[in-house]
Amino acid sequence: MVNDARGTLLAVRETVQSELTSYLTLQREYLSGIGSELIPVCDALESFLLEGGKRLRPLFAYAGFAATGKVATAADIRAFTSLELLQACALIHDDLMDRSDTRRGKPAIHRHFENLHQQEAMSGLADQFGEAAAVLLGDLALVWSDHLLHTSGVENSALLSALKVHDEMRIELMAGQYLDVREAGERSPSVDRSLRIARYKSGKYTIERPLHLGASLAITDAAERKDLTNILSAYGLPLGEAFQLRDDMLGIFGDPSVTGKPAGDDIREGKRTVLMAMTLERADQASAAKITAALGREDLTSDQIEEIRALITATGAVKVVEDLIEGLLSNALTAANSDEIDPSARELLIELATSATRRSH
């Protein structure tokens, strides 16, 4: 059964890949018709979108659709695929705001365009050009995401129903992103505030709303799908928090060859995660001082990273976070087994929950 679910998800992932490929081919034709200067934009977005990505949001939308008992058509999967373009906007703008150099082991979009500027010995400031390109490529991906949803070929009633969920999801995403950026400016960390950010950025945006989007395309009447919507929230919100907590763990303990990010990246970036807030809450004064001094220092050696990792583990925060992940996962699995969920979707939801929380990248 689990293998069947895994097979289905792999097949959906391949369809998402081929839908993205077709969409980007069409857009390349359109943009290069406006001017050949736009070809590097198409190249960069193709590489960003097609060479990597877990396709989590389209997969959750697929599972939300399946939870109604209906079978998604090609048009529905095209609509789910639009979430990957929205996510591209979020990541491109995120890397710019965080001043991250890499994404999936390759230069972040703003660095890529900064490099292009230098290679072509263009006039003006290379970093300013890179930043501007990242702003615009993110904006373009956001607009494309809408466009792909609108032209997916789903029935008008399904589209109108999906737009409501889609708008709410995007407003929550931007609010969550702002809270995250704002958090970096706080003078001291807070477990509560970090958990709230995890709820908006991951609980809602990554999991709950994609599930709702899928369900809203299958059952267009919001009242009719109300009970299912609630169960999908009961599954999606804890799972989303667990997903973000796993991200926190990988940001500090992840293997760079698997994550595509430098070792201990969240330490170097000084990221205000739940794991870090819990660590500092538990650390003795000397350890807390050492950890705080290391946060945001880009020049940490691997020995220093190793030392900070050991300090974090010694506080017990890792154990607490791992237990929290297991507890949240268990809540999600209980919801997945509820009667409101069509049996055909249960194994999908279970497989997705497990892979989202026990992943290594």
Residues making contact with a copy of itself (CB under 8 A): 27, 30-31, 34-35, 37-38, 41, 89, 93, 96-97, 99, 117, 120, 122-124, 128-129, 131-133, 135-140, 142-144, 146-147, 150-151, 156, 159-160, 163-164, 167, 170-172, 174-175, 177-179, 181-182, 184-187, 196, 200, 270, 296
> With respect to a copy of itself, which residue has the nearer C-beta, 100 or 229?
100
Q: How far is the CB of 200 from a copy of itself (least distance, A)?
A: 7
Q: Tell me whether residue 88 or residue 350 sits nearer to a copy of itself (CB atom).
A: 88
Between 297 and 319, name the residue whose CB sits nearer to a copy of itself: 297
Q: How far is the CB of 220 from a copy of itself (least distance, A)?
A: 12
Using only C-alpha atoms, what is the Rg of the chain? Answer: 21
Contact assessment for residue 200 and residue 179, using Cβ atoms and an 8 Å cutoff: yes
Instruction: Kindly state the smallest distance separating residue 88's Cβ from a copy of itself, in Å.
Output: 13
Phi first, then psi, for residue 299 (nearest 5°) are -95, 15
Residues 14 and 76: their CA atoms lie apart, in Å, by 14
Token pair 């050696």 is found at: 301
Question: What angle do the packed helices 226-253 and 209-218 form, to 10 degrees?
Answer: 150
Q: How far is the CB of 221 from a copy of itself (least distance, A)?
A: 14
Helices (H) and strands (E) in the chain, counts: 17, 2
Q: What gap in Å lies between CA 34 and CA 24, rounded to an integer?
A: 15
CB atoms within 10 A of CB 334: 12
**Looking at beta carbons only, is 45 or 336 nearer to a copy of itself?**
45
Q: How many angstroms separate the CA atoms of 329 and 353, rounded?
A: 7
Work out how close the CB of 138 gets to a copy of itself at its nearest, in angstroms, rounded to a whole number: 8
Minimum gap (Å) between residue 64 Cβ and a copy of itself = 20
Nearer to a copy of itself among residue 139 and residue 227 (C-beta): 139
Report which DSSP code applies to 139: H
Nearer to a copy of itself, 248 or 269 (CB): 269
Q: Which tokens go with 231?
A: 């169960």
